[in-house]
A and B are shown apart, each in its own frame.
Chain A
Amino acid sequence: MTPATSQRRQALLRALVAGAAGLTIAVGVVGAVVAVRDLGERADVNSGYDFADREIAWGNGWTLSQEGLYAARSLIPPQADYDIVMGDESKFTDPLTHRFAPNYVHSFLMPRHLRRGAGWVVCFRCERETLGAGVTVLWEDPEVGLSVLRLPREGAA
């Protein structure tokens, strides 16, 4: 390699480093301005939530009732098992409710154990007559169709 070629190669490589560093810094600086703005907006939105909206978070809206969730947490003892009974899918306007409400409630009611057939029931527009006789309604919001029930089942925790 001649000295001239070597110099050209060195210049080319230095230009490559300068280009890569320049691109990194340019995108980084512009991105920093955007990031501080975006994260600041996020902080403002977060600050505007009330306590329950922040706590219910990903379940807001499609889980039908914040009060119903708190009622379930308040009425079902922490050591108890419970069941979630969903009504027919056609009863829900939000497609998330039928599909994911059990996931949400399971998470919200931790450390209570979700168990099919348990004596405590969170009922999302369910057909109560299918649960058998002697169902006690502990909390209910008939408008949204959410209730917390107690069944007189043998062995219910």
Chain B
Amino acid sequence: MSAAGLLGLAAFVAVFTTAGLGVLVALEGTPHLRSVVLDLGLAYLLGVVSLGSVLTLAVLAGVPFSATTMLVGAAVFALGGVLVGRARGRREEIEGPRAGRYGYLVAAGLLALVLVVVEAYFRAGRLHGLFGFDAGAFWTPKAAALHAAGEFDEAHFASFPAPSYPPLVPMLQAAFFELRGEVDLVGLHLVYWSWLAGFVAASARLLLRVANPVLVWGMLLLLLVAGQAKKDALTPQADLFQDVVLGLGVLFVARWLADRRTSSLVGALLFVSALALVKREGYLFAACVAGAVLLACGLRTRSSWGHAALFALLPVAVALPWRVWFTRRSLVGDGPDVGVLDLADHADRVAPATWLVLRTLADVDVWPAVLVVALAAAVGALLAGERTLPVFTLSLLGLTAVGYVWTMWAFTSLPITQDNSQNPITRLVGGALVPAALLSPILLQRVLDATGWEAPRAPTHRLRVAAVAAVAAVAVAYPVGVLALEGAPRFPSRADCAALAAPDATEFVLVYDHRSWLPTARAVRDRLAEVGFADAEVRADGCGGWEVVNPGVQTLEQARGHIEDARRVGFEPRLEER
């Protein structure tokens, strides 16, 4: 990633965080200034889903997509949020369960590891090329089309694979391209990194209010190091984003199940309804959340049905304009291969599909230990006398598992295999396991509370300061260590392909000129030929441009003669690294 790419990323994060701060203030009231820093991750992702969804709907309605539209949108969200937040008054600051002295040290150690792993993701993503097939075939080209046309370009979308896939992720990618000033497929990986880092910060912000920090940081570390997380975070598709949106939505649902406040419900609905604009599975996950809410709140309560209906129907309403758009243009739909009435004809797929789903949910190479921990936490909470949250957790796990089996059953073109190039099951199960993982610390905390457990000794002030210093030191030590061992980071640019050769170089190439476009490079070659440089050739320079060279010049003596001759007719050849 170039310096311009980093600036583009900073602008992207700033725009969406500004919008999200407005949403957060509207939801929770005006925060104390010192707590705003801890809000940033949650604000960023609230901004991404809310401003991103509104931008998508606005562009579908005919508003031109541009940086100005984004900036105006962010400003409206921020100002609107501040106005609503003022009316709500000062936010109630909630302090979560505290760790004891040893627990505090363990939590600090886990936090340090979380920071190091997040930094390692940055390192890996910084210069990552676009290697995901779906990412290259339709996710990023859709974004490039949106960036170029300022609207959903029917002609382009019709000729991409999966033309009717929901458009929020391409919209967000295009937002980065817009703020970056060009299509930057390498830099795009850091947008995904920012979602991962924002997810960690947002989850911590929501969880630390209700669960012990050891449980919180332990679980966030476990999620970060999962094999599937490492794959999804470096592949600019929608899987990582979907897990992030669903995970945070479910945390808001858990908060709402506990406090029953409208603000928590609105937060949950913001995330859950955005799911339908992320991937086609979004409807499935929203339906699973709705079903789990219904089961957790009780089938006999009228309000349960109302709330479940909100979770099920709002995503459908949000995605409706997109469905109208692609249906009116007769783009290929996104439904399953087999309808409900014909499912029985493919009943032989049910058993292998079920087995595939179960073993993928438990696969240690995908999301290790998450299923075991989540089941233990939910069962423990039930045994401890809790009902609502463990029932919600188990229902969500169960319903999503059933949803996956239906997916494997109804999409008959998918072979029953874990091979990611043929079947997306390893990418799908994050939708069940990431929310379950995030709910586990809350469930385990409820178990601890039910047993009357309290942290034995509170950490002293000195210990706290030392722990914070140690965490900061580790977080700094990792990048410093990498820099010490491997030198300053490289920022590759097109200029790399025009590096001057050393004065005593024995291997070099004589370059008459560099041009961005082949026709202009050919024109230079033709002019050279006219004045007698018949050996001049045009070739790709390795950085997307073109160079006019003389490959016959092999020695410094030849080169000096050529350079003098060329200068006489107005050219300035250079000896460059081969």
Contact = CB atoms under 8 A, between A and B. Distances in A.
A106 B160 CA distance: 8
A15 to B, nearest CB: 10
A13 B380 contact: yes
B124 to A, nearest CB: 4
Given A13-B451, A23-B372, A110 B185 contact: no
A64 B252 CA distance: 50
Interface stretch (B125-133, B465-473, B557-565): B125-133
A59 interface: yes
B101 to A, nearest CB: 17
Given A21-B214, A107-B140, A71 B497 contact: no
Contacts of B221: 24-25, 28-29, 31-32
Given A29-B221, A42-B128, A66 B540 contact: yes
B519 A13 contact: no
A47 interface: yes
A27 interface: yes
A10 B224 contact: no
Interface size class, chain B: 35 or more
A111 B145 contact: yes
A49 B377 CA distance: 45
B95 to A, nearest CB: 21
B148 to A, nearest CB: 3
Given A13-B384, A42-B128, A113 B224 contact: no
Interface string A12-53: 111011011101110111011011101110110011011111
Nearest to A47: B127
- Give the interface SS of chain B, mostly helix, strand, loop or mixed: helix
Nearest to A27: B369
A75 interface: yes
B128 A39 contact: no
Given A14-B451, A20-B444, A32-B117, A58 B542 contact: no
A46 B120 contact: no
Q: Which of the listed residues B518, B539, B543 has the most CB atoms from chain A within 10 Å of its own CB?
A: B518
Interface in B196-243: 214-215, 218-219, 221-222, 224-226, 230, 234
B137 to A, nearest CB: 5
Given A17-B444, A110-B141, A46 B380 contact: no
A156 B49 CA distance: 42
B348 to A, nearest CB: 28
Contacts of A16: 376, 380, 383, 447
Given A13-B380, A36-B117, A67-B540, A51 B110 contact: no
B577 to A, nearest CB: 12
B136 A107 contact: yes
B215 to A, nearest CB: 6
A104 B140 CA distance: 11
Given A21-B215, A39-B121, A52-B543, A46 B128 contact: yes
A123 interface: no
Nearest to B219: A24
B148 A110 contact: yes
**Which applies to chain A's interface (DSSP): helix, strand, loop or mixed?**
helix
B144 A111 contact: yes
B415 interface: no
Contacts of A74: 516-519, 546
B129 to A, nearest CB: 3
Contacts of A38: 230
Interface string A90-110: 000000000010011011001
Nearest to B516: A74
A42 B234 contact: yes
A143 to B, nearest CB: 14
Given A16-B376, A23-B369, A31-B222, A103 B137 contact: yes
Nearest to A104: B136
B127 A43 contact: yes
A24 B369 CA distance: 7
B218 A21 contact: yes
A102 B519 CA distance: 24
Nearest to A113: B155
Contact of B494 (A36, A51, A56, A58): A51
A100 B478 CA distance: 41
B230 A46 contact: no
A57 interface: yes
A56 B373 CA distance: 42
Contact of A27 (B121, B222, B497): B222
The 4 closest A-B pairs by CB, nearest first: A31-B225, A57-B129, A111-B148, A28-B221
Interface of B: 106, 110, 113, 116-117, 120-121, 123-124, 126-133, 135-137, 140-141, 144-145, 148-149, 155-156, 159-161, 183, 185-186, 214-215, 218-219, 221-222, 224-226, 230, 234, 368-369, 372-373, 376-377, 380, 383-384, 440, 444, 447-448, 450-453, 478, 482, 490, 492-494, 496-497, 516-519, 539-540, 542-544, 546
7 contacts: A21-B215, A55-B186, A57-B136, A58-B131, A58-B132, A106-B160, A107-B137
Interface of A: 9-10, 12-14, 16-17, 19-21, 23-25, 27-29, 31-32, 34-36, 38-40, 42-43, 46-47, 49-59, 66-67, 70-71, 73-75, 100, 103-104, 106-107, 110-111, 113-115, 139
Given A17-B444, A67-B539, 16 more contacts: A16-B447, A17-B448, A20-B373, A20-B377, A21-B215, A35-B230, A43-B124, A51-B497, A52-B544, A55-B186, A57-B185, A58-B131, A75-B519, A103-B161, A110-B141, A111-B145
